[in-house]
A and B are shown apart, each in its own frame.
Chain A
């Protein structure tokens, strides 16, 4: 075939080379996942166990007790009857239209992935806040994680662990973890220097300073990060239904392939309702803390 001059057509690499590279990388990753997939799966075994246990708990409990627990949590966090009333209406709607079980699956997925994101993200955020160098390394990573199309995360996870709950959970956590890391870092960096100096002056150790001053004072900001993480987890759960995650995403997926408009809309609305409840509750909680602290910032 006649080749164009390099200034007319972009001088791209040989197609064969590209194929070779892709094959090599894919092959290497596949070999890796063949040989280590089982080990990695074993590592995530407890997580799966917990996830299944939690889902069963939500599914087997009578609907009114779940509703009661949700309302109690919402009230404790937000201290607002309006939000509680909203939650009741939303859950009655969900139950009445036959989406209770899918909603429970989704909720357990969100809960576990958010907990995991916090458990991993807060320490990373703390490390970032302690050193500018760590921050300089982690920040671009987070930027990539947040802009990478969510679907891309599904590929390596599926190659490694196949389809199912755990790979879904991993994909959700990877997608949703950046905000909690970012805001933990930010919150700790924003803690009043004078208060930190006071804690040093009284001989606090690094650990005492972290737990007694930095984390409590950064807490409202960390909560803002948790709020965003929950929202992103909820968005990802629908996408993760493509790799077998149970929940409200499944009927949506089915509706797309079979053109069930009403089914899709109802499940979509249920997701929206969950999102609004989670968002309002966690935001109200953060705001309440912030208010309590802010009065004290300036004498």
Chain B
């Protein structure tokens, strides 16, 4: 596997003046509530380890207060860790001095915010150009690059408007344009679409996925919407009370939730539309007449194929048509509808 773009190791964050002092107790397993009661410190993150490969979308999920925003803000050090390392492309962000950190934020990582955080006194054009202005580029160059991104996020008719005159969806396009304009390697999106209506949110997800096929950024995307997580994420990590509960590919999390918390999260997912057939296939071969189901087919389609062929078993084949394993109607049904409980 390629060297990860972002590697977070043993990350702890404890809010409060006594943060460092109580760290050993937290390492020994003191809980969030106990820490608050006895020392007045808030446990933000506990022993987080996470690797994000380059050009992937890493989704982070969790209930409100589970530490998602805290985690993502460690990547560009808007929040400094109490302990641990945040290594981006080989450099520890926690150890950067002021100038290096500014340079890192200007060129390598930019952020999209839940409530847009646009500058109300700047026009759409100047908002998109903000990062470039901060870099200190010539105004002609700023103008050129900003225009391209305004175009790209579909706002060229609104370039001279002010954020206050735009709808939420359009404001977040400005936010996205502003983040992309500096051409960063890393895009940090903290519940970037959570404040939008479902339809607009869907559009924005599409726009992001479109952009991603072209731009191939490393994206950390926070959400508390499971559908969004599964739709966008190449990998999903789930946080609870500051700790990492589970991480993996979306379908692994759906099929084998690590505990009740995760199981609760994923209970309403339409697994038939998400899970691919190879993840439930059994080794072995069947008769040659069994219907072939190409690898990558979703469970729902596979079930449809079997029922159309009136067959009990199907063979899963790779691209060349070689059989890899079998899958039965019963397996498909079970994987789609049975409520999973984590194995003890």
B261 interface hit (Cβ, 8 Å): no
The CA of A144 and the CA of B162, in the complex, are separated in Å by: 42
The number of inter-chain residue pairs (CB within 8 angstroms) is 89
The 8 Å CB contact of A299, one of B133, B163, B188, is: B163
* Interface positions of A from 186 to 218, Cβ below 8 Å from B: 192, 194-195, 197-205, 208, 212-213, 216-217
Mostly helix, strand, loop or mixed at chain A's interface? helix
Pairwise interchain contact B102-A197, C-beta atoms closer than 8 A: no
A151 interface hit (Cβ, 8 Å): no
Pairwise interchain contact A202-B110, C-beta atoms closer than 8 A: yes
Within 8 Å CB of B76, what residues of A?
201
The CA of A296 and the CA of B164, in the complex, are separated in Å by: 3
- Contact code string A11-52 (vs B, CB < 8 Å = 1, else 0): 000000000000000000000000000000000000000000
Within 8 Å CB of A297, what residues of B?
120, 164
The CA of A296 and the CA of B111, in the complex, are separated in Å by: 20
The 8 Å CB contact of A197, one of B117, B182, B195, is: B117
Within 8 Å CB of A194, what residues of B?
113, 115, 117
The CA of A203 and the CA of B105, in the complex, are separated in Å by: 5
Pairwise interchain contact A208-B117, C-beta atoms closer than 8 A: no
* Interface positions of A from 56 to 77, Cβ below 8 Å from B: none
B104 interface hit (Cβ, 8 Å): yes
Pairwise interchain contact B164-A295, C-beta atoms closer than 8 A: yes
Pairwise interchain contact A217-B120, C-beta atoms closer than 8 A: yes
Q: How large is the interface on B (under 10, 10 to 19, 20 to 34, 35 or more residues)?
A: 35 or more
The CA of A155 and the CA of B166, in the complex, are separated in Å by: 57
Chain A's closest residue to B172 (CB) is A299
B147 interface hit (Cβ, 8 Å): no
Pairwise interchain contact B168-A202, C-beta atoms closer than 8 A: no
For the complex formed, measure the closest distance between the CB of A179 and the CB atoms of chain B, giving whole angstroms: 23
- Contact code string B139-172 (vs A, CB < 8 Å = 1, else 0): 0000000000000000000000011111110010
Pairwise interchain contact B120-A203, C-beta atoms closer than 8 A: no
For the complex formed, measure the closest distance between the CB of A113 and the CB atoms of chain B, giving whole angstroms: 29
Pairwise interchain contact B111-A198, C-beta atoms closer than 8 A: yes
Pairwise interchain contact B182-A202, C-beta atoms closer than 8 A: yes
Pairwise interchain contact B121-A201, C-beta atoms closer than 8 A: no
Among A194, A199, A202, A217, the one with the most B-chain Cβ atoms within 10 Å of its Cβ is: A202
Pairwise interchain contact B163-A296, C-beta atoms closer than 8 A: yes
For the complex formed, measure the closest distance between the CB of A30 and the CB atoms of chain B, giving whole angstroms: 50
Within 8 Å CB of A213, what residues of B?
119
Pairwise interchain contact B118-A195, C-beta atoms closer than 8 A: yes
The CA of A200 and the CA of B131, in the complex, are separated in Å by: 10
Within 8 Å CB of A202, what residues of B?
105-106, 110-111, 130-131, 134, 178, 182
For the complex formed, measure the closest distance between the CB of B192 and the CB atoms of chain A, giving whole angstroms: 12
Within 8 Å CB of B165, what residues of A?
295-296
Within 8 Å CB of A295, what residues of B?
120, 162, 164-165
Within 8 Å CB of B102, what residues of A?
203-205
The CA of A199 and the CA of B117, in the complex, are separated in Å by: 9
Pairwise interchain contact A299-B111, C-beta atoms closer than 8 A: no
The CA of A191 and the CA of B167, in the complex, are separated in Å by: 22
Pairwise interchain contact B113-A200, C-beta atoms closer than 8 A: no
For the complex formed, measure the closest distance between the CB of A152 and the CB atoms of chain B, giving whole angstroms: 41
- Contact code string B95-112 (vs A, CB < 8 Å = 1, else 0): 000000111111100110
- Contact code string A270-299 (vs B, CB < 8 Å = 1, else 0): 000000000000000000000011111101
Asked, given contacts A201-B105, A297-B164, whether A195 binds B182 with beta carbons under 8 Å apart, the answer is no
Chain A's closest residue to B109 (CB) is A201
The CA of A197 and the CA of B165, in the complex, are separated in Å by: 22
Chain B's closest residue to A209 (CB) is B134
The CA of A100 and the CA of B133, in the complex, are separated in Å by: 48
The CA of A213 and the CA of B121, in the complex, are separated in Å by: 8
Chain A's closest residue to B195 (CB) is A299
The 8 Å CB contact of B113, one of A198, A204, A208, A294, is: A198
Within 8 Å CB of B107, what residues of A?
203
Chain B's closest residue to A215 (CB) is B121
B304 interface hit (Cβ, 8 Å): no
Chain B's closest residue to A219 (CB) is B121
Q: List 19 A-B contacts (CB under 8 A).
A: A197-B78, A197-B117, A199-B119, A201-B78, A201-B110, A201-B188, A202-B178, A203-B102, A203-B103, A203-B105, A204-B134, A208-B134, A217-B120, A217-B121, A292-B162, A293-B120, A293-B121, A295-B162, A299-B163
- Which 6 residue pairs across A and B have the least CB separation, nearest first? A296-B120, A295-B164, A296-B164, A203-B105, A203-B106, A198-B117
